Amino acid sequence: MDLIEKPELRDREKVFSDRAHAGRVLAEMLEVFRESEAVVLAIPAGGVPVAAALAGELGLALDVAVVSKITPPTSTEVGYGAVAFDGSVGLNDELMERLSLTHEEIVEGVEKTAGKVQRRLETLRGDRPFPDLANRTVILVDDGLASGFTMLVAAQAVRRAGAARVFVAVPTAHLESLDRIADEVEAVCCANVRSGWSFAVADAYISWHDVSEEEAARILESFAPRGL
């Protein structure tokens, strides 16, 4: 795996003031893309403030790649799959088996998540056409990777949309999640790589809150892109 990291931040917690600070740290690590034709695609909602800070620092175009995890009825944290902006669905067979999900529960989960993705597309993108990714470099951004499965589905969808090169930029991630996406992308930029049995994205941040769709929309509206 081609991994760009900050070794001094490995296995540490509370290393970012907030998501905007994390985005600026990633921008320093991705200086090679400054004012290039690369497009930054945020995974909403939490990835939007990170991506906006990164794209703003580097003078890059910003948009969103709406992808949402599919969760079981008993938890909103565990994701056993994901639905992407192009309607594609990725399922984690191993986790589904461990959760003992019924076929009906899986179908219901996929349908519910597909509705959430469609709503977010309308809220965050309106009627704007999706950016033309043909032969372009895409930088996929989220606020962190726990399992990495949602990012895996996002990377595959972006490839299908024509991206020539796909990079992932996340402030924090579990080492196993980075291994999961390694074969799908050219490189991963992760400032704070962590390992161990216990991992929460929020632990990398001093200030943390759930980003609403409304907040994400405001950030996107206030961002001044170079043009897609």
Chain center to CA of 5: 17
Are the CB atoms for 193 and 13 separated by under 8 Å?
A: no
- CATH number of the domain bearing residue 190: 3.40.50.2020
The whole-number pLDDT of residue 93 equals 85
- Could you say which residues of the chain have pLDDT below 70? 1, 76-77, 224-228
> What's the domain range around 176?
3-67+133-222
Cα separation, 192 vs 183, whole angstroms: 20
In a domain, 174, yes or no: yes
The Cβ-side half-sphere exposure at 25, using a 13 Å CA radius, reads: 24
Q: What is the pLDDT of residue 64?
A: 96
Q: What angle do CA 106, 112, 113 make, to 5 degrees?
A: 90
Q: Tell me, what amino acid is at 150?
A: T
Looking at the 3D structure of the chain, how many domains does it have?
1
Q: Quote the tokens at residue 210.
A: 């759930």
Q: Is residue 178 part of a domain?
A: yes
What span, in angstroms and rounded, lies between the C-alpha atoms of 74 and 228? 40
Two tokens, residue 220: 């996107």
Angle, in degrees to the nearest 10, between helices 19-29 and 47-58: 40
**Is there a domain that residue 80 lies in?**
no
pLDDT of 70: 92
Report the DSSP beta bridge partners of residue 138: 39, 166
Indicate whether 27 belongs to any domain: yes
**Does residue 127 fall inside a structural domain?**
no
- What is the per-residue pLDDT for 228? 46
pLDDT at 72: 84
Q: For residue 73, is it within any domain?
A: no
* Structural domain contains residue 158: yes
